[in-house]
């Protein structure tokens, strides 16, 4: 049977793992790129392959040290004023040229806005496969085949996806899925320049305004207070608790879909994967799609009024109660700064009636 052929095949590919390196607005390498470099290093060590980073920018050789310390044996770098900021046409063209010239077997990209744009475009240009939003990556050493783990539509099942006949084997991984291994400043690596050919694109996009302020980064929050359908949209109540704890508010998908809270706060398979010290799940049933987002939490507390709620199977501390009573009571104790153990003196009487329903907020009118 004839099937689609990638631009370069298994025979022509070199046993190398490449990671697309994204830059933070502040200048350093993006956390997701360091996470991917760490994973690439781990796989490369297993296989005895080199790992390389692919970096574009105007004057970015200063980042070589960081990339090498985090696991790159080689930094492929293309520097040109045209590459100062991400534009899909120039970045895709340069990445394509580099990949075709060096033919790595594996190419990993962060599942960020830029990374998704780039990976989706490149995979088609290379006529290869793309495993998007992987939850883990392994290497079949015998065949040199990347096995990407993706959580399925249904709960609880992981699909293992591979491409046996196409190269490079592309995969995207979202921020927060892998952990960064500590930098090793004694590591050595080389820097290899990659050509940028100006003016090869048939069209041009122009960024006429770029206003990015502080980014909400729930992947790094120490305490997550997550609300589900069971909190009836009362995120103000959760925000108060989160503020007292020095944490952040997250949500399941239904309240996001209903416009109670921004999509940026959705936790789970199609949202954020975070690794807090404590995750408090309020009025959340515990669907697998949600649970993958708090899998890495050290401690999970669940508050739910249904004794059969599946969330209780995935929690360390289970509170079978009405969230509208527990949360205000807890907030009152924390606010009073009561010493644990003397609680009965503090929060006697009716728990505070929670604040009114928060107005419906729709995403799309940010800033």
Partner 1 sequence: MMFDFHMVVCVKIVPKPEEVRVDRESRRLDRANARSEINPPDMNALELALDLKDRTGGRISLLSMGPPFFEMYLRVGLAMGADHVYLLSDRAFGGADTLATTYVLAQSIRKIEDVDLVLCGEESSDGATGQVPAGLAEWLDLPQITLVNRVDLNLEDGLVRARRSLPGGHEIVTAPLPALLAVKTAANEPRFMDFRRRPWAMADGRVTIWDRKALAADPALCGSPGSPTAVSGLEQARVRERKRLFLQGEVDELAAQLAAILEANRS
Ligand X SMILES: Cc1cc2nc3c(=O)[nH]c(=O)nc-3n(C[C@H](O)[C@H](O)[C@H](O)COP(=O)(O)OP(=O)(O)OC[C@H]3O[C@@H](n4cnc5c(N)ncnc54)[C@H](O)[C@@H]3O)c2cc1C
Binding site residues, ligand X, CB under 6 A: 153, 228-230, 252-254, 266-271, 283-285, 287, 289-290, 303-306, 309, 322-324
DSSP at 273 = -
Q: Does 138 bind partner 1 (CB under 8 A)?
A: no
The distance of closest approach from Cβ of residue 219 to partner 1 in the complex, given in angstroms and rounded to an integer, is: 11
For partner 1, which is the closer residue by CB, 357 or 363? 363
* DSSP H/E element including 345: helix 343-346
Choose, by CB under 8 A, the member of 236, 347, 352, 358 that binds partner 1: 347
162 binds partner 1 (CB under 8 A): yes
Using the minimum distance from each CB to partner 1, give the nearer residue, 78 or 314: 314
Binding mask 54-83 for partner 1 (x = CB under 8 A): ------------------------------
Tell me if residue 185 falls in helix, strand or coil. coil
Which DSSP string do the residues of 52-107 spell out, in sequence order?
Answer: EEEEEESS-GGGHHHHHHTT-SEEEEEE-GGGSS--HHHHHHHHHHHHHHH-EEEE
User: Residues near 107 by Cβ (< 8 Å), separated by ≥ 6?
Assistant: 17, 18, 19, 20, 54, 99, 122, 168, 169, 170, 171
| Choices 10-18, 60-68, 72-80, 335-343; region in contact with partner 1 by CB under 8 A | 335-343
Question: Which CB, 64 or 245, lies closer to partner 1?
Answer: 245
Residues in region 198-257 near partner 1 by CB under 8 A: 202-216, 222-223, 245-246, 256-257
Q: Which stretch binds partner 1 (CB under 8 A): 14-22, 51-59, 61-69, 162-170?
A: 162-170
Considering the complex, what minimum distance in angstroms separates the CB of residue 164 from ligand X? 26
> Which among partner 1, ligand X, none contacts residue 315 (Cβ within 5 to 8 A by kind)?
partner 1
Q: Shortest distance, CB of residue 218 to partner 1, whole angstroms?
A: 10
Per the DSSP assignment, residues forming a β-bridge with 77 are 55, 193
- CA-to-CA distance for 96 and 98, rounded, in angstroms? 5
Query: Considering only residues 123, 226, 237, 282, which one is a binding residue for partner 1 as defined by CB under 8 A?
Result: 123
Choose among partner 1, ligand X, none what residue 237 binds, the Cβ cut-off being 5 to 8 Å by kind. Answer: none
Residue 271 DSSP SS3: coil
Cis bond leading into 168, ω under 30°?
yes
User: Hey, which residues between 278 and 297 contact partner 1 (CB under 8 A)?
Assistant: 278, 288, 291-292, 295
Would you say 22 or 73 has its CB closer to partner 1? 22
Say if CB 134 and CB 146 are below 8 A apart. no
Nearest C-alpha neighbor of 55 from the set 184, 200, 193, 168: 193
User: In the sheet where 190-193 sits, what is the strand order?
Assistant: 130-131, 169-173, 104-110, 14-21, 51-57, 74-79, 190-193
Partner touching 60 among ligand X, partner 1, none, CB below 5 to 8 Å by kind: none
Query: Minimum distance between the CB of residue 366 and partner 1, rounded to whole angstroms?
Result: 6
């Amino acid at each position: 049977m004839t099937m689609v052929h990638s631009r370069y095949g298994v025979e022509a590919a070199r046993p190398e793992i490449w990671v697309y390196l994204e830059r933070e607005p502040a200048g350093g390498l993006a956390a997701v790129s360091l996470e991917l470099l760490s994973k690439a290093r781990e796989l490369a060590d297993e296989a005895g392959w080199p790992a390389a980073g692919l970096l574009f920018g105007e004057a970015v050789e200063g980042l070589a040290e960081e990339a090498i310390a985090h696991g790159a044996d080689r930094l492929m770098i293309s520097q040109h004023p045209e590459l100062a900021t991400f534009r899909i046409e120039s970045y895709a063209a340069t990445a394509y040229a580099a990949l075709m010239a060096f033919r790595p077997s594996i190419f990993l990209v962060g599942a960020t806005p830029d990374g998704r744009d780039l990976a989706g475009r490149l995979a088609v240009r290379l006529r290869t496969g793309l495993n998007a939003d992987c939850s883990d990556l392994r290497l079949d050493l015998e065949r040199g085949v990347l096995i990407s783990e993706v959580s399925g539509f249904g709960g609880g099942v992981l699909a293992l996806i591979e491409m046996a006949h196409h190269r490079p084997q592309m995969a995207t991984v979202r921020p927060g899925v892998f952990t960064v291994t500590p930098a090793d400043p004694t590591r050595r690596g080389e820097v290899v320049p990659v050509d940028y050919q100006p003016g090869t694109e048939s069209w041009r996009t122009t960024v006429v305004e770029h206003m990015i302020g502080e980014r909400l980064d729930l992947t790094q929050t120490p305490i997550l207070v997550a609300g589900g359908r069971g909190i009836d949209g009362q995120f103000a109540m959760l925000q108060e608790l989160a503020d007292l704890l020095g944490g952040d508010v997250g949500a399941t998908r239904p309240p996001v879909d209903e416009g109670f809270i921004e999509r940026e706060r959705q936790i789970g398979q199609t949202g954020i994967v975070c690794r807090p010290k404590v995750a408090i799940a309020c009025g959340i049933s515990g669907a697998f799609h949600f649970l993958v987002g708090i899998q890495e939490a050290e401690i999970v507390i669940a508050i739910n009024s249904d004794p059969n709620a599946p969330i209780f199977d995935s929690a360390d501390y289970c509170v079978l109660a009405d969230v509208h009573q527990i949360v205000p009571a807890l907030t009152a104790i924390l606010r009073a700064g009561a010493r644990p153990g003397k609680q009965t003196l503090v929060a006697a009487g009716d728990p505070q009636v929670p604040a009114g329903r928060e107005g419906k907020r729709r995403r799309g009118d940010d800033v």
